[in-house]
Structure 1
Amino acid sequence: MDAMFLMNSLWVMLGAILVIFMQGGFILLEAGSTRMKNAGHIAGKTIFTFGLASLVFWAVGYGFIFGENANFFIGLSDFFYSGAQAEGMGLSTSVFFLFQLAFAGISITIALGGFAERAKLSVYLIFTVLFSAVVYPVVAHWIWGGGWLAEHGKQDFAGSTVVHLTGAMAALAATILLKPRIGKFNKDGSANSIQGHNQVFTALGVIVLWIGWFGFNAGSTVAVDDGFFGFVALNTNLAAGAGAVAALIISWMVLGKSDIPTMLNGALAGLVAITASCAFVETWASVVIGFIAGILVFYSARFFEKRKIDDPIYALSVHGVAGVWGTLSTGFFATPELATVGLPGLFYGGGFTQLGVQLMGVVTSGAFAFVVSFVILAIMKKFMSGLRVTEEEEVMGLDISEHGSYGYPEVFASKDQNVSL
C-alpha cells in the first residue's frame, strides 16, 4: 500500500477526531451560555443527537451528498455505506466518510442551539433525523458533491455555508416557531439579559472549538504531500485571533466595558468566517476577514435581540452572519494562485463574477435550509401539540422535567428550593 495513501488517511482520521471532539466544545459553550437548570439536558442531548445524526448520515446522508448517479440537486447511491474503498481515491474512503460525518454532526448541533432551554426532547429527536436526511445533505451536495453550485465554481473550502449557514438558518426557523424564553422580553419589547451560568465553561468551550477547527479547516485539505495544511491552519488561527480582538474592542468602545461573551463570540465568528476562505486567501486577508467578523457578531446580536429573536447561544450571529461574510469574503480576497476552485476575487482582478457566485450560493443555500427547516418544524408543531415544553416545565428546567435528574444535583437538592435561577 502506498505510503502517501497511509499518511493522507492518518491525517484525515486525525481531522475527523478533532472535529468530533468539537462536540465537547459545543457542550461547554452551550451549557455555559445558558442556565444551570438546563445544563445536564444540554450535555445529554448533544451526545444523543450526534449519535442519531451519525446513523442517519450512514443510512442516507453520505449517499445524498457524494453518491454516484447524481444530478444537480442530489446524489443517488452509496446508501447504508458499506465501507468499500473507492477507486482512485488518495486515502481510505472509510476515513473520508468519518470526516464528512463529523461535519454533518457539527451542522445539526449548530441548528439545535436555536432550540435551547425550551424545546421538547422529542423535537430534538425528530428534527435531527429530518435535518440530517433532507436539509444538510442537499446543500452539501450542491457545493461539495458536484451539484449545481459546484458547477458554478462556488468557493467554500471547509463549510462557512455548507455547515455553519445551513445550521444557523435551521436555528432561525426554530427560534421563530418556538418563540422567546419566558422572561426574555418585556411587554414594551425591551429585552432582559438571561446570562449564562458559567463563563469559564464558555471560554473552555471556545478553546476546544478553536483547537478542533484545525481539523475542520486544515483537515479539509485531505492530503499531506505538499504541506498546504499548515498554511490553512495559519490562516485559521489568525482569523480567530483577529475576531476575538475586534469583538473585545468594539464592545469596550460601545458598552464602556470589555464584554467577555462578546469576545468569545468574536473568536468563534472569526473561525466561522475563515472556514470558507482559509485555502484561497493570503495571511493578511485572513486577519481582515476575522476582524470584520468580530465586529459583525457584536452588532448582529444586538440586531436580532431588538427584533425579539431569542438566540441563547448566538447561533444566528456567530454561524449565520459570520458564515455569510466568510463566504462572500472569497469574492473579494481569493488570489489567482490559491483559487483552485472558481475565480480570483474582486481585489485581485477577478471582477464581480466570483462575488456574484458566492452571493448566489449564500442566498439559495440559506433560503433552502430555512424554508425546509421551517416547514418541517411547522408540521411537527401542528401534529405534536407544539414544539415547546409547558411553562411549568420551562421554569422548572429541562434537566428535571425531561430527564428526572439535575446536572447540578447538589445545587437543586431541596424540592422546596427556587429552581428558576
Structure 2
Amino acid sequence: MLKKWLASSMFLSLLFPTMAFAAEAPTPEILQYAIDGVWVMLAAILVIFMQAGFALLETGSTRMKNAGHVAGKTILTFGICAIVFWAFGFGIAFGEGNSILGWKGFFFDGQASESYVLGTGVPLSIQFVFQLAFAGVALAIAWGGFAERAKLSVYFVFGALFTALIYPFVAHWIWGGGWLAEHGKQDFAGSTVVHLTGATAALVATLLLKPRLGKYNKDGKPNQLPGHNQVLSVLGVIILWIGWLGFNPGSTLTAVNDGFFGFVSLNTNLAAAAGAVAALVVSWIYFGKADIPSMLNGVLAALVAITASCAFVETWAAVVIGAVAGVLTFFTAQWFEKAGIDDPIYAFSVHGIAGMWGSLSTGFFASERLVEIVGVGKPGLFYGGGLEQLGVQALGVAACFLFVFVVSFVILSIMKATMGLRVTEEEELVGLDLSEHGSYGYPEQMKKAGGDVSLQA
C-alpha cells in the first residue's frame, strides 16, 4: 500500500507541479484540482481516440479502391484541425468577446489566462486539448459528405476554414457564453455544437459534389454501393461507443461531484443500446432482413441524440431518446437516398437528424432535478416547464443549421468555382488510393482483381 501511495503521489506531482510544494497532506481543493485534471485529460484521450473509430467506420463503409485514402485523410485532417484550432478556433470559441464571437486568446500558449471564459478549475492546457478533441470530431463528421469523390486538396482548404470560421462560432454561441447560452440553450456535450454542425457541412458538400458515379440509374433509381468490410465498420462503432464515454461524461469537467459523470455514462449507454435494437428491428421489418449497417447507424444516432440531453434527462427518457433516434435515422436515410442525395456514410441522417432530435429532446424531457444540478435552462414540457425550453432548443437548432449551411455553401461554392471539389471521372473510377496517393490500401487484393477500375467491393 505504501508503494502504491508513493507512486500515486509522484504521478500527481509530475502532472501538477504545485502539489510538490504542498503540505504532506494535500488540501481537498488541491486533490480536486488534480483529480479533475486527470479525469478531463483521460476524457480528451478517449474523444481523440474516436478518430480511430471514424477511420474504421468510414473505411469499412466505402469501397476497397478508396480504403487507404479514406483512412489516411483522418490523420491529415485532425492535424490541420489541431493547428488551426490552436491559432484561431480556441480564441473565437472561448476567448473573451461579445455574444457572437471571442476575440482574445489566439495562438494559445498553454499558460493560465484570464482571456478565456471557461470557468472551471481544470488547467487551461487540458481544457484546450479536450475542446480540440470536440472540434476534431465535428470535422470528421463533415468529411462523410465528401467521401469517395473529393480532391485531397479540398481537405486542406475546407478543413482549415471549417475550424476557423464555422465550428468555433457555434461553440461560442452555446458553450462560450454567447447569445444562445444567454437564452439557456441546453447542449451538454454537443448534439448541436459538434454533430449538427459537422453534419450540416457534410450535407452541403454532398449536394455540391453530386452523387458518386454509378450510384443512380437514368431513371433516378439508386444502386447499392456497399462498403467493402462490415467488420471494420462494426469495430469502428465499438470504438466510437467507448470514446463517447469521454465525450459525454467528460463534459462534466469534474470527477468530484457525487459521481454525476457516472449517471451521464449510464444515460449514454442506455440510449446507445436502445438505438441499436430499435434500428435493427425496424430494418428487419422494412427489408425482411436484419441489416447490420442500419444497426450501426442506430447506435451512432442514439449516441448523437443523447449527447445534448445526457445530463438533463432521467434514465427512462434516455431509452426513449435513443430508440427514437435509431428509427428516425433509418427512415431519413432511406428518404435521402431515394431523393437523389448520395450521402455515402449517412452523415446527415446519423449526425444531423439525430442531432436535431437530441437537441429538441431536452425541451420535452429535461427534469427539474437535473436542470437544477447542471444549472442551464429550464425543465421540459413533460416536467411542467411548458414550451419555453422547447422553443429555446428549436431556436438554437434552426439558427445553427442555417448559419453552418450558408457559410459552408459560400465557402464550398467559391472553392468549386476556383480550385474544383471533385476528382475527374477517370480518377474516381480508378479509386482515390491510386489517383491521389499512388498506391492502393489493399495492393494484393486489387492486383488479384486484375486492376478492374470499376471494382465496387
**TM class by shorter-chain length?**
over 0.9
2:103 is equivalent to residue 76 of structure 1: yes
1:282-337, CA deviations, whole angstroms, 9 ceiling, x for partnerless residues? 00000000000010011000111111000001101000000000000000000011
Q: Counterpart of 1:181 in 2: which secondary structure?
A: coil
Q: Counterpart of 1:78 in 2: which secondary structure?
A: coil
- CA distance in 2 between counterparts of 1:124 and 1:225 reads 40
Q: What are the ranges of 5 or more consecutive residues in structure 1 without an aligned counterpart?
A: none
Q: Counterpart of 1:410 in 2: which secondary structure?
A: helix
Q: Which amino acid aligns with 1:110?
A: I
Q: Give the CA deviation at 1:411.
A: 1.1
Question: Which residue pairs with 1:393 in the alignment?
Answer: 427
Q: Give the CA deviation at 1:416.
A: 4.8
Please identify runs of 4+ aligned residues in structure 1 that moved more than 2 A.
86-89, 413-417
Question: Which residue pairs with 1:19 in the alignment?
Answer: 47
Write out aligned runs for 1:204-353 (5 A): 204-226=235-257, 227-339=259-371, 340-353=375-388
- CA distance in 2 between counterparts of 1:415 and 1:203 reads 25
Question: Which residue pairs with 1:383 in the alignment?
Answer: 418
- CA distance in 2 between counterparts of 1:251 and 1:293 reads 14
- CA distance in 1 between counterparts of 2:137 and 2:189 reads 12
- CA distance in 2 between counterparts of 1:305 and 1:408 reads 28
2:82 is equivalent to residue 51 of structure 1: no
Q: Counterpart of 2:446 in 1: which secondary structure?
A: coil
Question: Which residue pairs with 2:143 in the alignment?
Answer: 112
Mapped contact 1:173–1:370 kept (Cα < 8 A)? yes
Q: Give the CA deviation at 1:420.
A: 2.2
Question: Which residue pairs with 2:443 in the alignment?
Answer: 409
1:40-97, CA deviations, whole angstroms, 9 ceiling, x for partnerless residues? 00111110000110000000000001101x1111001000001112467411110000
- CA distance in 1 between counterparts of 2:200 and 2:326 reads 20
Q: Which amino acid aligns with 1:374?
A: F
Instruction: State the percentage of identical aligned residues.
Output: 68
Q: Counterpart of 1:367 in 2: which secondary structure?
A: helix
Q: Which amino acid aligns with 1:407?
A: G
Q: What are the ranges of 5 or more consecutive residues in structure 2 without an aligned counterpart?
A: 1-18, 20-29
Mapped contact 1:37–1:420 kept (Cα < 8 A)? no
Q: Give the CA deviation at 1:254.
A: 1.2
- CA distance in 2 between counterparts of 1:76 and 1:86 reads 14
Q: Which amino acid aligns with 1:388?
A: R
Which structure has the larger Rg over C-alpha atoms?
Answer: 2
2:444 is equivalent to residue 419 of structure 1: no
- CA distance in 1 between counterparts of 2:431 and 2:313 reads 45
- CA distance in 2 between counterparts of 1:89 and 1:240 reads 29
Q: Counterpart of 2:445 in 1: which secondary structure?
A: coil
2:70 is equivalent to residue 42 of structure 1: yes
Question: Which residue pairs with 1:29 in the alignment?
Answer: 57
Q: Give the CA deviation at 1:119.
A: 0.2
1:140 to 171, 178, 186: 171
Q: Which amino acid aligns with 1:390?
A: T
Q: Which amino acid aligns with 1:14?
A: L
Judging changes above 3 Å, is the alpha-carbon distance between structure 1 residues 271 and 200 closer, same or farther for their aligned structure 2 residues? Answer: same
1:91 to 113, 119, 122: 122
TM-score normalised by length of structure 2? 0.91
Question: Which residue pairs with 2:158 in the alignment?
Answer: 127
Q: Which amino acid aligns with 1:219?
A: G
1:150-195, CA deviations, whole angstroms, 9 ceiling, x for partnerless residues? 0000000000000000000000000000000000011111000100
Mapped contact 1:412–1:419 kept (Cα < 8 A)? no
1:358 to 363, 371, 393: 393
Q: Which amino acid aligns with 1:96?
A: Q
- CA distance in 1 between counterparts of 2:62 and 2:92 reads 35
TM-score normalised by length of structure 1? 0.98
Q: Counterpart of 1:303 in 2: which secondary structure?
A: helix
Judging changes above 3 Å, is the alpha-carbon distance between structure 1 residues 336 and 378 closer, same or farther for their aligned structure 2 residues? Answer: same
- CA distance in 2 between counterparts of 1:183 and 1:160 reads 33
